[in-house]
Amino acid sequence: MKKFIERFYVAIIFVFLYAPIVTLMVLSFNQSKTRSKWGGFTTEWYSALFKNDAIMQALYNTLFIAIASSVVATIIGTITCIALYNMKSRTRNAMLAVNNIPMLNADIVTGISLMLLFISFGMRFGMETILLAHITFNIPYVILNVMPKFKQLNPNTYEAALDLGASPIYAFFKVILPEIMPGILSGFLMAFTMSLDDFIITHFTKGAGVDTLSTKIYSEVRKGIKPEMYALSTIIFLTVFVLLLIVNVAPAQKEKRMALEREAAKNGIIKKSLFKPRTKKWMNRIVAVILTIALIIGSVQLYKKSGGTNQVVVYNWGEYIDPIVLEMFTEETGIEVIYDEYETNEVMYPKVASGATQYDIVCPSDYMIQKMLENDMLAEIDFDNIPNIKHIDENYMIQSREFDPENKYSVPYCVGTVGILYNKTMVEEPIDSWDVLWDERYKDNILMQDSVRDAFMVSLKRLGYSMNSTNPDELEEAKEDLIAQKPLTQAYVVDQVRDKMIGNEAAIGVIYSGEAIYTQMENPDLEYVIPKEGTNVWIDSWCILKDAPNKENAEAFINFLCRPDIALINFEYITYTTPNVEGRALIEDEAIRNSEIAFPDLSKYENLETFRYLGEDADRMYNNLWKEVKSE
Amino acid sequence: MKNKHSKWLAMPFTVWATIFIIIPLFMILYYGFVNGEGTFTWENILAIGEPEHLKALGISIVLSLIATVICLVLAYPLAMILSRLGINQNSFIVLIFILPMWMNFLLRTLAWQTLLEKTGVINSILSFLHLPALNIINTPYAIVLGMVYNFLPFMVLPIYNAIIKLDKDVINAARDLGANGAQTFTKVIFPLTLPGVISGITMVFIPALTTFVISNLLGGGKILLIGNVIEQEFTQASNWNLGSGLSTVMMLFIVISMILSSIFDKDGEGGMF
């Protein structure tokens, strides 16, 4: 009975640990790209995966960084533990406290502080900086795992070894090391795992074009994580799992057989054992060889600099361009594209501002362009090099003047509105106003945007104020309304609106128009509306950075993207509205070409605005009010 | 292995920690003690006293304490059961707990959303069995669940490691001397595995205290944790000074954990070394 309870308990824990893993594995066979809907069985993501060079390169980088950083961290961590073991407890505790710092600090604090450190050293951002950062946050895990083993050591065995004539080093390897080995092993594995999993610190310490799986996954968040990632995770998981079984089960069986044979030999049935207890050593050697090879290849990779000078360094939103377009550009112009991705304006800004990586061209949103302009970070674009600007809708050029008054610094790339996405089967009447987000009937069925400006935009617009208001009274009123709304909201989300709405998880959600087209394709019950009180017209535009080393190449790149056929390719990939009039005319599907959601006639709506940068003080006011809402 | 030369072994870590932990720490401290114009101020440190921040800190402490206790309660018996499976399986057991973490953290947390949502997998199963629905998504319960899920291995492994190192003779001696099962556990087994327990608690409580992704994805962004505040100050508000100030305050918890472990160390020095 006791045994049964024990087994049951272990089983429950494993179900708990592995339920999400199984979920992800199932999703890797899901035809639909959204996690909340089963679209039928497919293996297409697996074949797509192996054709995707970017993911394969990211996988390689990830493994190299994880192996190298955890090997170094394990070595440093273990020898540190030897020293700590011999220290006075006060010194030891001080060092352990220092050791805990990287674990306690929020990742973003560690990430930004390391970025500042590397900049002050004048280091080139790339694989090396990621490695240094990963070793730094891996050491604590090793020390925390190895230290308890030292505390449990019986010092007498070591003394005994010395008395029997062993040198200290020999005694360490023969007596101490086997005792602490389990701690070293779990420390190494934990370090490896943390390195595999880290995103924020990697983001701030990496150079352009160096991606790990984590940075790839996070950059996909805004546009929805591609099932290829589930497929890759499944493969990694199963590979390790199978290896694990082979390594552990095989020797166990062999040992059993050996024991039997020994027994037999004793009884004189067999004279000599056929099996020698070599398996473990043999296995260790293979692992060592594999590790060494991986490290050597990695180090070679590390110093393989991107040779060509004829290049352009692009920093764009994740999943915000069809990769084929980059290839076409290089083929036609001979300019090599170094491509890097971010997932919010706010994460992009400090990286560009710090100059950690020398980018040529970025794609910020409206208010961020204004902020960069005010901080003198952008270069005037030479429009003689961009004749294709004529294809861009005049309306959006005019709208751009909100943040770029003379249309000198930015070229619109993707545009859209913010509106309400609702499920026709879950609401009682057609929706046309922000008021519905305050309607008691839809309690727990409302999804609000989880970002300061977007949330306040909804509240301010509903009250009839400007969404760029800096009037404290208006903001206070908007805040009170948001607090009143809080009990009605199911969740504050950013990118999850898409999946939750497709999965019928909520009736109403605030969403970006570009996502609306996609959600409707996945769930025909969904409808998108621009509320009558007005809304935000957002514009993501290409800008060239002030000290861009390859300014002309950057202009050639923008010009290329403004070509109608290229705009069409990108529209079909991104599904966000293109301001390219000629490009739109090329869309074959009439329903989409004339879609009110994709291409709204802005003149039909009133009170449309575009976000402006309001300055640091106003930003702070907004943030403090938002904190009051969120902590309510 | 007391050895006067072993001091030098601390050199690599000391150098490394100075460059990559201490100097960046001072950068954070610098930001924490100046305002936007670069003049000295206590403002960012004292900001922890503002009601929203205090509340966020309070909720964070409570939720991470609950998660830590649940992890400990789940992990200890588990580690004991696992330790009886035989010494040969060591690395296997370590890996089986770490393996789930090789699927990206974000993907795993999103998978929990798929499992827990109103129309999610668990509720579909429950409704198929005509059982009442489980509505914990977007509540503090889901946040605690997320913390326990993500940090449980950090508790199991050190405890497991400590238990398998236990000298069986000590336990047998306790039994021979007349201790019953409970007494053997409280007087012998638990105190001897305490170092493992302490490092488990550190490795669960500290990361849980500053998490923000779990509260965003599983708590529906409706519960503001101190990690969310710090993250928001750095990313959305671009107010590095306040973010750094609050981070500096969080360092207090390192000091507290240091004091705690030194208290337990004193206990240990009699019996353990």
**ipTM summary value:** 0.88
Least confident of A289-303, A352-366, B144-158: A289-303
A273, pLDDT greater than 50: no
Mutate to test the interface with A, among B11, B16, B21, B136 (most CBs of A within 10 A): B21
A280, pLDDT greater than 60: no
Q: Per-residue pLDDT averaged across A436-457, rounded? A: 94
pLDDT digits (tens, 9 = 90+) for A184-235: 888 888 899 889 888 889 988 988 888 898 888 888 877 778 888 899 989 9
Higher pLDDT, residue A599 or B2: A599
- What CATH number does domain A311-414+540-594 carry, 3.40.50.300, 3.10.20.30, 3.40.190.10, 3.40.50.10190? 3.40.190.10
Measured distance CA(B209)–CA(B59) in Å, rounded:
9
Least confident of A54-68, A129-143, A278-292, A549-563: A278-292
pLDDT digits (tens, 9 = 90+) for B179-204: 888 888 888 888 888 888 988 888 89
Measured distance CA(A500)–CA(A516) in Å, rounded:
12
What pLDDT does residue B271 have? 25
Find, among B224, B45, B151, the residue nearest to A144 by Cα.
B151
Residues 101-130 of B with CB under 8 A from A: 101-108, 110-115, 117-121
Q: Per-residue pLDDT averaged across A148-171, rounded? A: 83
What pLDDT does residue A255 have? 65
Higher pLDDT, residue A165 or A486: A486
CB pairs under 8 A between A and B: 353
Q: Do the domains A311-414+540-594 and A31-225 match in fold?
A: no
**Number of helices and strands (H, E) in chain A?**
26, 10
A412, pLDDT greater than 50: yes
CB within 8 Å: B203 and A217? no
Q: Per-residue pLDDT averaged across A126-139, rounded? A: 92
A158, pLDDT greater than 90: no
Find all residues with CB under 8 Å of A119, minimum gap 6, and list them.
A354, A355, A356
Give the chain A residue nearest B206 (alpha carbons): A104
Alpha-helix runs per DSSP H in A153-271: 155-163, 168-171, 177-197, 200-205, 213-220, 227-266
Find all residues with CB under 8 Å of B145, minimum gap 6, and list them.
B112, B116, B136, B218
Higher pLDDT, residue A406 or A112: A406
Using a CB-CB cut-off of 8 Å, the residues of chain B touching A236 are 102-103
- What CATH number does domain A416-537+614-631 carry, 3.90.228.20, 2.70.150.10, 3.40.190.10, 3.40.50.300? 3.40.190.10
Mutate to test the interface with B, among A10, A82, A108, A158 (most CBs of B within 10 A): A108
Instruction: Supply the CATH classification number for the domain A31-225.
Output: 1.10.3720.10
A107, B209 contact by CB (below 8 A): no
CB within 8 Å: B107 and A230? yes
B89, pLDDT greater than 70: no
CB within 8 Å: B2 and A86? yes
Residues 85-104 of B with CB under 8 A from A: 88-92, 94-104
B29, pLDDT greater than 80: yes
DSSP A431-470: --SGGGGG-GGGTT-EEEE-SHHHHHHHHHHHTT--TT--
Place of tokens 């604090």: A109
Confidence class of residue A252 from pLDDT cuts 50, 70 and 90? low
Find, among A420, A468, A480, the residue nearest to A448 by Cα.
A420
Domain ranges for chain A, please list them.
Answer: 31-225, 311-414+540-594, 416-537+614-631
The answer to whether the pTM exceeds 0.95 is no
**Domains, in order of start, for chain B:** 50-238 (1.10.3720.10)
Find all residues with CB under 8 Å of B265, minimum gap 6, and list them.
A89, A93
What pLDDT does residue A534 have? 94
Higher pLDDT, residue A632 or A563: A563
Least confident of A243-252, A574-583, B18-27, B214-223: A243-252
Give the chain A residue nearest B271 (alpha carbons): A152
DSSP A481-501: HHHHHGGGEEEEESSHHHHHH
> What does the mean pLDDT of chain A come to?
87
Find all residues with CB under 8 Å of A408, minimum gap 6, and list them.
A380, A381
Measured distance CA(A482)–CA(A478) in Å, rounded:
6
SS (H, E, C) B210-251: CCCHHHHHCCCCCCCCHHHHHHHHHCCCCCHHHHHHHHHHHC
Confidence class of residue A152 from pLDDT cuts 50, 70 and 90? confident
CB within 8 Å: B119 and A503? yes
Kindly state the helix (H) or strand (E) to which residue A34 belongs, with its residue range: none
B120, pLDDT greater than 70: yes
